[in-house]
Amino acid sequence: MMVALVTLGLETQAASADAPLGDSDLPKWADKKFGPFHASVSRWVEDTSRRIDGFFGTTDALTVNTDSYLRVRQEMAWREGEAFQQDLGARFRLDLPTTEERLRLIIESEPEETRGTLAEQESALTDDQADSLGDLLVGLNRLGDRDKRRHWNTRVGAGIKLRLPLEPYVRLTSQRLWTLNGGPWQLHSDNRLSWFNGNGYSARTRWDLGRELDDRRHLRFLTNVQWRETEDTLEFSQAVELNRRLNRRSVLRYSAVALGESASHPAIEDSYLQVRYRRDIHKGFTFVDVSPSLHFRREDDREPRWALTLSLEMYFRRHIDRVSL
């Protein structure tokens, strides 16, 4: 009942907020003060990647779009029966695509392998946080040249983690996309196998079956399986999602999720219902998320426990995709 009331309130808020057509919810004085700062930092992110690429590669770096960004995120989380948590974090990625054909120099913080369990990956508030330069990766990625709609597209990467002593790593990823029987259903497979000198092997596979229901709604069934040598247990999750675009700046996601562990004696550790509201509050680079959820955790004897996550997220990059989940 509470989830339904929150959903109704979020939909009403989204409708009213878009009544005067615009691209920002902020007052004009805030836009005037913040706009030049954001533009300056975004130029710095992109110019830095181009300078590094120009040093290692060619002058094509001056004209080719880069996949480089800086994300700053403030998150607050509350769970019934637990202490309130908050966290301010930053994540960045420099993607330098023109060093050589299909060869990229990648500099990134918080790689996927450091983001903890499948449950923790849903939130920036984890006990396995990336610790700034300690989890900074510098490496080379060799891109595949195959269309994933027709063949498996494979990417191979290797490099070092910048901590003392330096920690080498190797990563293999592969992707494939099928359109089933020429119809609206699509199946996407995303797989990763990694080795880090300090943490050993890890593997993750993700299968995403989905289709558009209409121009505003999209249905997805997601399966994730992960194994890490440091934990030596198999984790899995199954989710059903209905994504609904309320307007060009607001979306809602309704989710039912089950999280489990162990291959020999599988057990569901948590199952929950969640509504996630995401709104672009300022010109495609500042977003607000509100995510109430109802959990039935094994450690709580399946007693229902409410949780709420609030976050403010800001991207610094020259080109930003519009709001999406």
- Domain harbouring 173, CATH code: 2.40.160.40
Mean per-residue pLDDT, 42-66: 52
Residue 253 covered by a domain:
yes
The predicted model scores a pTM of 0.79
pLDDT at 191: 97
Indicate whether 50 pLDDT > 80: no
pLDDT tens for 64-73 read: 445 677 888 8
In angstroms, rounded to a whole number, what is the distance separating the alpha carbons of residues 30 and 38?
12
In angstroms, rounded to a whole number, what is the distance separating the alpha carbons of residues 198 and 161?
10
pLDDT tens for 205-261 read: 999 999 999 999 999 999 999 999 988 889 999 999 999 999 989 999 999 999 999
Give the range of the structural domain holding residue 305, as residue numbers without chain letter.
2-16+23-316
In angstroms, rounded to a whole number, what is the distance separating the alpha carbons of residues 151 and 149?
6
Indicate whether 198 pLDDT > 50: yes
For residues 320 and 216, which has the higher predicted lDDT (pLDDT)? 216
3-class SS shares of the chain: helix, strand, coil, % to 5: 20, 50, 30
Indicate whether 311 pLDDT > 90: yes
In angstroms, rounded to a whole number, what is the distance separating the alpha carbons of residues 277 and 194?
33
Residue 323 covered by a domain:
no
Residue 324 covered by a domain:
no
pLDDT tens for 11-48 read: 545 454 444 457 888 888 777 777 777 777 777 676 66
Mean per-residue pLDDT, 113-125: 71
pLDDT-based confidence at residue 142 (cuts at 50, 70, 90): confident
Mean per-residue pLDDT, 291-299: 95
pLDDT at 27: 81
Q: How far is CA 129 from the centre of its chain?
A: 15
In whole numbers, what is the pLDDT of the chain averaged over residues?
80
For residues 179 and 138, which has the higher predicted lDDT (pLDDT)? 179
Domain count, the chain: 1
Indicate whether 310 pLDDT > 80: yes
**Long-range contacts at 183-191 (CB < 8 A, ≥ 24 apart):** 183/211, 184/211, 184/212, 185/209, 185/210, 185/211, 186/210, 186/211
- Percentage of the residues of the chain whose pLDDT score is greater than 90: 43
DSSP β-ladder status, 153-161 and 137-142: antiparallel
Indicate whether 323 pLDDT > 70: no
Counted residue by residue, the chain has a size of 325
Residue 321 covered by a domain:
no
pLDDT at 173: 95
Under a CB-based contact definition with an 8 Å cutoff, are residues 74 and 85 in contact? Answer: no
In angstroms, rounded to a whole number, what is the distance separating the alpha carbons of residues 68 and 47?
10
Mean per-residue pLDDT, 310-316: 90
